[in-house]
Amino acid sequence: MKKLMVYLDEDTHEDVRELAHRKKTTMAALVRYALDKTFEDELDEVAADRALEEAARDPSGTMSWEEYKASRAARGVRAAG
């Protein structure tokens, strides 16, 4: 996990601190949760883009469509539809 410094005005800081106390969690956990819920779709898109870029740079960890279908069939998973 990486560290991020965020500046909040005094009232917001105190409100977040009190909310964390009431929920028996940390301020950092509240901020992480809020980011995840607020930007869930956009963060998923960024992560998918990063995964595609990594696969394009080094495709050795990927499989073809045919390999994927064969692995699903071997596990007994049927295609949707």
Dist CA 42 CA 54 (whole Å): 18
> Is the pLDDT reported for residue 81 higher than 60?
no
Over the stretch 6-55, which tens digit does the pLDDT of each residue have?
A: 999 999 999 999 999 999 999 999 999 999 999 999 999 999 999 999 99
* pLDDT value at residue 78: 75
User: For the chain, first and last CA: distance in Å?
Assistant: 40
Q: What is the domain range of residue 34?
A: 11-56
Structural domain count, the chain: 1
**Within a domain: 1:** no
Residue type, position 67, single letter: E
Within a domain: 48: yes
Domain contains 18: yes
Per-residue confidence (pLDDT) for residue 76, from 0 to 100: 86
The verdict on residue 24 lying in a domain is yes
Longest dimension (CA), the chain: 58
Q: Are 19 and 30 in contact (CB under 8 A)?
A: yes
pLDDT of the residue at 53: 95
